[in-house]
Amino acid sequence: MKNTLTLERDSGLGTGSNMEELPPSQGPCLSQPILSAGILPLIPTATSDNCERALLLHTQFLQNLAGFQWLATSDRNSSVVIDSVCQLISCLMAILKDPGTLPPTPLLRRAAQVTAQTVDSFCGPAFGKLVERVEDCLKELTGLLLKLSQLDQFQVQKTLADCLILLGGSSSLKPSFVHHALCEINRFGDHLRQNESEALERFDVAQYENMMYLFWILEQLLREESVPDCSAQRRLPESRPSLSAELSRLEANVLLLSDEFPLFAIYAWRIGVCLKSTAS
Q: Could you read off the pLDDT of 8-45 as tens digits, one per residue?
A: 333 333 333 333 332 333 333 333 333 333 343 444 44
For residues 181-198, average pLDDT = 87
Question: Is residue 147 a contact partner of residue 156, using CB atoms and an 8 Å limit?
Answer: no
Task: Determine which of 28-32, 112-116, 167-171, 248-252 has the lowest per-residue pLDDT on average.
Answer: 28-32
CA torsion angle for 271, 212, 108, 179 (degrees, to 10)? -40
Look at residues 42, 41, 52 and name the one whose alpha carbon lies nearest to residue 4: 52
Mean pLDDT, all residues of the chain? 77
Q: What confidence score (pLDDT) does residue 25 get?
A: 32
Amino acid making up residue 46:
A
Give, as one character, the DSSP assignment of residue 101: G
Q: What confidence score (pLDDT) does residue 62 get?
A: 87
Checking if the pLDDT of 266 tops 90, the result is yes
Checking if the pLDDT of 178 tops 90, the result is yes
- CATH fit for domain 2-11+44-279, picks 1.10.10, 2.50.20, 3.40.50, 1.25.10: 1.25.10
Q: Is 27 left (phi over 0), alpha (psi -120 to 50) or beta?
A: left
Q: Is 149 exposed, middle or buried (0-12, 13-18, 19+ CB in 10 A)?
A: exposed
| Residue 29 CB-half CA count within 13 A | 21
Report the alpha-carbon distance of residue 75 to residue 109 in Å, rounded: 29
Look at residues 54, 28, 56 and name the one whose alpha carbon lies nearest to residue 42: 56
Q: What confidence score (pLDDT) does residue 183 get?
A: 96
Q: Could you read off the pLDDT of 47-76 as tens digits, one per residue?
A: 447 888 899 999 998 888 776 665 555 566
